[in-house]
Structure 1
């Protein structure tokens, strides 16, 4: 019997034996442990051997449930992304729906930064990931956009959320203080050649705590994208 494909595992269409002893492991349990591992140590720490050791089984035992790392990471991605918020899949004011969708997917990226690396490229999509696309398309249903325009809108909004989450994730603990020290040194070396850069960063540094953070950056970009979409909708109407 050939091993299950990535699509079969993602969509639960594999045929499991109905007789025999109860499995010692479950696919859901394997995926959950893998997610816990990469949440703690990063995607580079993941290997079938390392995962097997954490579960207390041999590497060959895992292959009975998942053929390899490619299938495992596909399952991890779809599980970590989870389902979109219910409100994002309900047809409502398109701006509200898209805003909620972006804020929710941004939160998922922050919770599991390694997903950003896995979503790049051509690959099979799982039910949760397709659910996010369905939710965004539902929010766009009343805009009059073509199918291509709707998909491009999703790419634009998701790209903004993803790139900002990537920046946040790359800022290690203490990284902001380190950058501030390096920036001060750079500006001293520059000798006043970049006055606008220096003024902008100085103003940002003076921003009260709780403002100017990643959520503000997310909302600013999202609102500007939505403003542009609103102009296009008004022009067509």
Structure 2
């Protein structure tokens, strides 16, 4: 087990594990997969993933695109290697943190730091479980963090998905702010103020009373971190579950994967027709709500022009 020599690895994965050598002859001796990947990461950091192409990376390095294909034969392989390089290894300091909860919190923040430095990583498609060294190392530190708990092997993997998934969701928001900042030149604080002003101007108490109360309470300008609040409550739930297991409580029945295709539902003609009817009804509802808002604005304008005596 653990021997990759007999596996038929995709080239990108093989390059990541170092079992696929660079070509013996290239355009210049100083060319390497590592230099190509470093240049691509620098380009993505500066301009976003959309700016990365074999031609753009080649120009950055002073070579022709065909020269790069001798080392990285496909853009998908390049993206995988970029993600691997940007992810890096977990900081050694997380292993020095005592207690599973505190260690998971430290790992979560370390993952967020990656997205802050490389926001383009959110745009890399998820094609399955990580099969590269650095991604595997991050799974390892999460599994280590819960080694001493009564969680089963499946539950420990679920914790890994929970931590990485929450970090990715938070990273998605951070990446969105970064992209908006690049496009507009605005700081994150200015983007927040702009979004808050839009909510304040568009949301009425008549149509969205709970949301309006939240806006009036200043939630969109609050310094409190809602994502960390949510993550801490997840840890609360995990702690309660671990306490229950340690007290001899029974595990819940395992849940299967959620999928429509297993039952053939998604391909069913009647189901598709029902889904289309639902979308049409939702559109009609949105149109009606828009008409109500317009009528209400016009009524208020008339009332303002002709106040009662």
Q: Do both share a fold (TM > 0.5)? A: yes
Equivalent position of 1:168 in the other structure: 174
Equivalent position of 1:181 in the other structure: 197
Residue 218 of structure 1 pairs with residue 232 of structure 2: no
Residue 52 of structure 1 pairs with residue 58 of structure 2: yes
3-state SS in 2 of match to 1:125? coil
Equivalent position of 2:145 in the other structure: 139
- Equivalence map 1:1-237=2 (5 Å): 5-16=11-22, 23-89=29-95, 92-118=98-124, 120-122=126-128, 125-171=131-177, 172-173=180-181, 174=186, 175-187=191-203, 190-204=204-218, 211-212=223-224, 216-237=225-246
Instruction: Report the CA distance between 1:15 and its aligned residue.
Output: 3.4
TM-score normalised to the size of structure 2? 0.67
- Alignment RMSD, CA only? 2.5
Q: Which structure has the larger Rg over C-alpha atoms?
A: 2
3-state SS in 1 of match to 2:104? helix
Confirm or deny: 8 A CA contact 2:72 2:78 kept in the other structure.
Answer: yes
Instruction: Report the CA distance between 1:26 and its aligned residue.
Output: 2.0
> More displaced, 172-181 or 31-40?
172-181
Instruction: Report the CA distance between 1:152 and its aligned residue.
Output: 1.0
Confirm or deny: 8 A CA contact 1:84 1:104 kept in the other structure.
Answer: yes
Q: Deviations over 1:116-164 (max 9, x none)?
A: 2326122662111110000000001011111111111111222222112
C-alpha change, 1:162 and 1:29, in structure 2 (3 Å) is same
Instruction: Report the CA distance between 1:10 and its aligned residue.
Output: 0.3
Gaps (5+ residues) in structure 2?
A: 1-9, 247-309
Ranked by relative contact order (alpha carbons within 8 Å, sequence separation 6 or more), the top structure is 1
Instruction: Report the CA distance between 1:179 and its aligned residue.
Output: 1.6
